[in-house]
Structure 1
Amino acid sequence: MCLFQYEEDPEPEERIPAGLLYVPVRPGEGGGTVIRLFRTPLGARTAVGFTRRERLAATLGAGQKCVRLSESLLRKLCEPLGAGLVTVDPTLSAPAAGPTSHRSDRVAARIA
């Protein structure tokens, strides 16, 4: 995802609230759901929200589950987890990871 901050980006106090966001979630323990957290290119944890479901699907895939949360609630839920940053409408900037072979397969291939 493109999570860079540019010089022309507004300062936090100048930003307009994004309103209700589509927030990606994953299955949690006990049958519940958990907010997915991501990392910026510099390694900082960030929560992610999308203003439209289509944007979420274009970035994370059509099968990605989501919940609707306000930006302020998303921030409050994620700050105790070390994700004080909320990124709205990020775009994919790297190819999706493909399946990998098991380490033992790679070792066997080198030996052979």
Structure 2
Amino acid sequence: MARVVWHVPVTTNATGSTTTLRLFRTRDGRRCAVGFSSPEALAALLGPEHAYAELGEPALRTLTAPLGVDTLVLDPRLVAPPVPTPVAAPATAPAPAPAPATELQHR
């Protein structure tokens, strides 16, 4: 049986000494771990410079279980809330220039 490897997004600190598994959220807000079937699939969604680690599904589940993450997503697609279409503001006359500042007089 062939070993299935997931390409899992990670972040690495500036010195390169610490690598952290990157978690995401499902559309309903629950945390999840993601994996990609190939480095190309990961690069297509997250960019070519994004770091990743190669893990099997059991290893990924073992890493995420203590964090309360039980959802794994393979080859996710970018899902974002819909962006509202801007409504053109009606043409209006420019606002009048502010009146010159006046000084208060003490009495």
Which residue pairs with 1:98 in the alignment? none
Which residue pairs with 2:5 in the alignment? 20
CA-atom RMSD in angstroms: 2.1
Mean CA deviation greater in 22-31 or 66-75: 22-31
Please identify the structure whose Cα radius of gyration is greater. Answer: 2
Unaligned runs of 5+ in 2: 82-107
Which residue pairs with 1:87 in the alignment? 73
Give matches, 1:51-66, under 5 Å: 51-66=37-52
> In the aligned structure 1, how far is the partner of 2:30 from the partner of 2:49?
26
What amino acid is the match of 2:24?
A: F
**How far 1:19 moved relative to its partner?**
1.7
Which residue pairs with 1:36 in the alignment? 22
Unaligned runs of 5+ in 1: 1-17, 96-112
2:27–2:79 Cα contact (<8 Å) kept: no
> In the aligned structure 2, how far is the partner of 1:25 from the partner of 1:94?
21
TM normalised by structure 1 equals 0.63
TM normalised by structure 2 equals 0.66
Structure 2 residue matching 1:43: 3-state secondary structure: coil
> In the aligned structure 2, how far is the partner of 1:57 from the partner of 1:29?
21
> In the aligned structure 2, how far is the partner of 1:29 from the partner of 1:86?
27
The number of equivalent residue pairs is: 78
